[in-house]
Amino acid sequence: MHEMSLAQSIVEIVESVSQQNNNRDVAKIKLIVGELAGVELQSLMQSLTIASHGTVMEGAEIELERPEGTAWCMKCAQTVPFHHLGDPCPICGGYQLRINGGNEFRVSELELKTED
């Protein structure tokens, strides 16, 4: 249940921002979950629904951004597409790869509901 603990940490971040803003409800959050972040998206979304229940985040719209994975290949001396951990370089077939993109996991935007 790796995704559940991630979901709980997202809800905590969102709640603390809301608290600094008179506990306003959250309208929308934007998440960046890279292809190589090691997060199962469907499981994360389900966990978020559960974790946000009864909080200011309940019912908020969740927008996902999914940056593609890339890695630096030592042999090719260039950045190559890299979609799965453990894969070889798609150009030279080597394994001297260092991930340099697509492993981010964070809340990038948060929109609070307007007070009425």
**Interaction site with Zn ion (CB under 5 A):** 73, 75-76, 89, 91-92, 94
Comparison of 1 and 77: residue with beta carbon closer to Zn ion = 77
CA distance 53 to 72: 41
Least distance in angstroms from the C-beta of 68 to Zn ion: 17
Comparison of 64 and 91: residue with beta carbon closer to Zn ion = 91
Of 59, 50, 49, nearest to 28 by C-alpha is 59
> Is residue 84 annotated as involved in ligand binding?
no
Q: Could you give the dihedral angle defined by the CA atoms of residues 90, 82, 84 and 98, in that order, rounded to the nearest 10 degrees?
A: 110
> Is residue 89 annotated as involved in ligand binding?
yes
β-pairing, 26-33 vs 105-112, is antiparallel
Least distance in angstroms from the C-beta of 95 to Zn ion: 9
Q: Would residue 18 be called left, alpha or beta, if left means φ above 0 and alpha means ψ between -120 and 50 degrees?
A: alpha
For residue 104, the cross-strand partners are none
Comparison of 87 and 104: residue with beta carbon closer to Zn ion = 87
Comparison of 72 and 105: residue with beta carbon closer to Zn ion = 72
Least distance in angstroms from the C-beta of 96 to Zn ion: 8
> Is residue 53 annotated as involved in ligand binding?
no
Contacts of 59 (CB under 8 A, 6+ apart): 52
Binding residues for Ni(2+): 2
Question: Which residue ranges make up the annotated binding site for Zn(2+)?
Answer: 73, 76, 89, 92
